[in-house]
Each structure stands twice: as structure tokens, then as C-alpha cells.
Amino acid sequence: MKLTPIRLRRLNAGLDSEQAMEVLKITKSTFYKLEQGWTSPSPQLIKRLADAYKCTTDEIFKDLKITG
């Protein structure tokens, strides 16, 4: 699996994939699509990502290349 900015942020937060899925309340499929950049998360998931990965929502937007 490639090392995407969002995956690197998760690793820096000290979470393995199983822990992240549990904290974020998402399925394995959604988790892998998110980390590979194949899906855009909902605003609620962006907030949970920022909380779980100890960063701001702006940093999540940047990692996922979400503009607008």
C-alpha cells in the first residue's frame, strides 16, 4: 500500500488500521478507499479524522486534496 499523506498522519498518531477503523466508526472498505484517495469523506468523518489524528480539519483537507 502506498504511503499517502493521510496514512502517514495516521501512523504518526500511533494508530494501526484496526484501531483507526474502530475510532472512526468506518468499514474496512471505506478505510482503504480513504487512505488510497479513492473517496471523499463526509464532513462528519473529516471531523472524526482530525480528532483521531490530533490535527486540524484544514490539515485533513490538505492531505486528501479537497478544495472548495
pLDDT in single tens digits along all 68 residues of the chain: 689 999 999 999 999 999 999 999 999 999 999 999 899 999 999 999 999 999 999 999 999 999 87
**pTM listed for this prediction:** 0.92
Of 11, 33, 15, 12, the C-alpha closest to 23 is 15
pLDDT recorded at residue 1:
65
Residue 60's contacts (CB-CB under 8 Å, 6 or more residues apart) are 6, 9, 46, 49, 50, 53, 66
pLDDT recorded at residue 67:
86
CATH number of the domain located at residue range(s) 5-63 in this protein: 1.10.260.40
The domain ranges of the chain are: 5-63
